[in-house]
A and B are shown apart, each in its own frame.
Chain A
Amino acid sequence: MNLHVQHVLQWMSKTNDKIQANKEYLTSLDQAIGDGDHGINMARGFQEVMTKTEASQYDTVSDLLKDVAMTLLSKVGGASGPLYGTAFLKMSMAVKGHTSVDQPAFTKGVEDALNGILQRGKATVGDKTMIDVWNPILSLLKENESVNAEQLEDAAKHAMESTKDVMAKKGRAAYLKERSIGHLDPGSVSSYYLFSSLAEVMKEGE
């Protein structure tokens, strides 16, 4: 893994493509166990990320990630805005000073991002939230010296699918208790799109 500004731009662009293409799907997942706005909010936020980053020039990955963070914070709303915004802000701070982001630097970025999500959302592993995708990805990065695209995709997909059989303890889905079992967590699905897009960027470079 060796991410430069152009790779992170591709990462955001692919993430946006997946979210726009699956906007209705994300919303339908959220209608089942939440308040039904996840697709609408994420699509609006990532569209704004594209508008902002395409109109700007970046010298460092850190500056780019910071713009992604601030755009998501101000455009998404709901719970996803602060959670994704915090994640990218922490990642931006973690990779500050790196002209290219290798796996150790990216791992630190994911670790700080996850800690930010944990703190902001006051949730923990197994609550049926996006944490259930971010945490296994961090473990993958920590336990393997050189993670490849296929490993990243597989880990993210497996983690996302594993939220289906869990009872929600945080977010609006928690009001449903047992009735939340059998549904995928929408935030885990959007987090899967994020890491799956990164895997695609990595695959093109392999």
Chain B
Amino acid sequence: MKKIINDPNLVVQDMLKGLVAAYPNSVQQVPNTTVIARKDAPVSGKVGLVSGGGSGHEPAHAGYVGYGMLDAAVCGEVFTSPTPDQVYEAIKAVDGGNGVFLVIKNYTGDVMNFEMAAEMAQAEGIEVEQVIVNDDVAVEDSSFTTGRRGIAGTVFVHKIAGAKAQAGGSLQEVKEVAEKVVANVRSMGMALSPCTVPAAGKPSFILEENEMEIGMGIHGEPGTERKAIQTADEIAAELTQKVLDDMKLTSGDEVAVMVNGLGSTPEMELYIVNGKVNELLTEKGIRIYQTFVGEYMTSLEMAGCSVTLLKLDDELKELLDAESKAPAFRS
């Protein structure tokens, strides 16, 4: 393992220290927690937005804390859901009197820990609502299983629900628009190389020099197919088609596109992928309202990318366009 760290067991604490040092005017670390909150939290009268999960997906989620997006991000150990007491501290820190909204990615641990925290907060009289993001089409959605995973599409939920809350939306209105995003966002990823969780010290899986895995999750969960590496155009086409198969877009529909890097894929390659995604969508008459290319939801130093499409309507476009001061949201 070759990493720029001090101690594998202290990576989260050390990272948070540096993050707060980078944005001292916009964020704070809630004392004795791994919660990053807006400097001005709680904002009186505004619905508080809390997201979070395991660390290792930077800039998710603490990079999305700021005006117009999240009020707080709860940072768990690397790839491990934060505990209910930490989530509860975040809820308390951002409660401005009109309730708190939780954005949860669909992993068993995340859902349970956030729901327990919600129950603790509700017992204290704080109104809490939630949405569970499950945009990864690589995993079959079935009521008999855990269901699809939440990946890069979560960033659109942060942006749009965050804009709604910033504009003065009620807890119920924030929930409705967040659910609308979840219903209209789909993603699919692929990996070229694994990543190493610092505390584990070795990669969680092996891909041979000429191999790639289609549909791999952001913690290295198995995908749908492992095969010989192809060209960027072929990869872009496969990811885009898998997303489209699940979305039923028709000519004239408008979308936001996100081509997300998983940690060690150069932007050059992400732009190459985006070129093909753009071409394919345009051929089908799908209008691209806005494109996001870069690292939004990573998996430590994994190489690979994901393609996310969000079907837009007027309300979603307006909220996507609204001002955000979160440091990691590049538009």
Q: Is B263 an interface residue (CB 8 A)?
A: no
CA distance A33 to B98 in the complex (A): 42
A136 CB–B CB distance under 8 Å: no
Answer whether residue B222 sits at the interface, using C-beta atoms and an 8 A cutoff: yes
Report the minimal beta-carbon distance from A111 to chain B, rounded to whole angstroms: 20
* Segment 193-216 of B: residues with Cβ below 8 Å from A: 199-200, 204
A176 at interface, CB cutoff 8 A: yes
Residues of A within 8 A of B222 (CB): 175-176
Q: Which residues of B contact A174 (CB under 8 A)?
A: 145-146
How far, in angstroms, from A74 to B107 measured CA to CA in the complex?
18
B interface footprint on A63-79 (CB within 8 Å = 1, 0 otherwise): 00000000001111111
Residues of A within 8 A of B282 (CB): none
CA distance A34 to B199 in the complex (A): 17
B220 to chain A, nearest CB (A): 8
Segment of A2-10, A80-88, A94-102 in the binding face: A80-88
Q: Answer yes or no: A18 CB below 8 A from chain B CBs.
A: no
B296-309 vs A, CB cutoff 8 Å, 1 = contact: the mask equals 00000000000000
A178 interface contact, C-beta 8 A: no
B139 within 8 A of partner (CB)? yes
Chain A residues with Cβ below 8 Å from B83 are 73-77, 81
A120→B119 CA distance, assembly (Å): 11
Of the candidate stretches B72-80, B171-179, B264-272, the one touching chain A is: B72-80
Rounded to whole Å, the gap between the CB of A2 and the closest CB of chain B is 32
B108 & A41 in contact (Cβ 8 Å cutoff): no
Q: Are A175 and B146 within 8 A (Cβ)?
A: yes
Complex contact A77–B146 (CB within 8 A): no
Complex Cα distance, B145 from A85, in Å, reads 23
Binary interface profile of A, 107-121, with partner B (CB < 8 Å = 1, else 0)?
A: 000000000000011
Q: Is A14 an interface residue (CB 8 A)?
A: no
Classify the secondary structure of A's interface with B: helix
A85 — which chain B residues lie within 8 A by C-beta? Answer: 84, 116
A206 to chain B, nearest CB (A): 37
Task: Bin the interface of chain B by size.
Answer: 20 to 34
User: Counting CB contacts under 8 A, is A52 at the interface?
Assistant: no
The minimal Cβ–Cβ distance linking A86 to chain B, given in whole angstroms, is: 7
Interface residue from B79, B113, B145, B221 paired with A37 (Cβ < 8 Å): B79
Contact status of A82 and B85, CB under 8 A, knowing A36-B200, A36-B204, A77-B80 = no
B84 and A73 form a contact (CB under 8 A): yes
**Shortest CB distance B1–A (Å):** 15
Contact A82 B84 (CB under 8 A): yes
Q: How far is the CA of A73 from the CA of B112 in the complex (A)?
A: 11
The smallest C-beta distance from A118 to any residue of chain B, in angstroms, reads 12
CB–CB B84/A170 < 8 A: no
Say which residue of B116, B144, B146, B200 sits within 8 Å of A82 (CB atoms).
B116
CB distance from B151 to the nearest CB of A (A): 13
Does B219 make an interface contact (CB < 8 A)?
yes
Main secondary structure of the interface of B (DSSP, over half): loop
Interface residue count on the A side (C-beta < 8 Å): 28
- B109 proximal to A (CB < 8 A): yes
Question: Considering the chains assembled together, what is the distance between the CA atoms of A176 and B76 in angstroms?
Answer: 25
Task: Tell me the bound Cα distance from A172 to B112 in angstroms.
Answer: 14
Contacts of B79 in A (CB 8 A): 35, 37
| Interchain nearest-CB distance for A45 vs B (Å) | 10
Q: Point out the residue from B82, B85, B199 that lies within 8 Å of A40, measured CB to CB.
A: B199
Q: Which residues of B contact A83 (CB under 8 A)?
A: 112
On whether the beta carbons of A78 and B116 are closer than 8 Å, the reply is: no
Interface residues of B in 74-107 (CB under 8 A from A): 76-77, 79-86, 107
Partner of A78, one of B81, B139, B144: B81
Q: Tell me, rounded to whole Å, the shortest Cβ–Cβ distance linking A67 to chain B.
A: 14
| Cβ-neighbour of A169 out of B144, B199, B219 (below 8 A) | B144
- For residue B78, which residue of chain A has the nearest CB? A37
Instruction: State in angstroms the CA–CA spacing of A76 and B113 once bound together.
Output: 11
Closest residue of chain B to A170 (Cβ to Cβ) is B146
Contact of A79 among B82, B108, B145, B219 (CB under 8 A): B108
Whose C-beta in chain A lies nearest to the C-beta of B139?
A175
B217 contacts across to A, CB distance below 8 A? 175
Enumerate chain A residues within 8 angstroms of B85, measured Cβ to Cβ: 73-74
Nearest-neighbour CB distance to chain B for A200, whole angstroms, equals: 29
> CA A31 – CA B206 in complex, angstroms?
13
Say whether A77 contacts B108, CB under 8 Å. Answer: no
- The distance from the CB of A1 to the nearest CB of chain B, in whole angstroms, is 30
List residues of chain B with CB within 8 A of the CB of A76: 83
Establish whether residues B113 and A82, one from each chain, have CB atoms under 8 Å apart when the complex forms: yes
Per the bound structure, the CA–CA distance linking A85 and B144 in Å amounts to: 25
Kindly list the 6 A-B residue pairs having the minimum CB-CB distance in the complex, ordered from nearest.
Answer: A82-B112, A79-B109, A78-B109, A74-B85, A79-B108, A174-B145
7 A-B pairs, CB-CB below 8 angstroms?
A: A41-B80, A76-B83, A79-B109, A81-B83, A81-B109, A170-B108, A174-B145
User: Chain B residues in contact with chain A, CB under 8 A?
Assistant: 76-77, 79-86, 107-109, 112-113, 115-116, 139, 144-146, 199-200, 204, 217, 219, 221-222
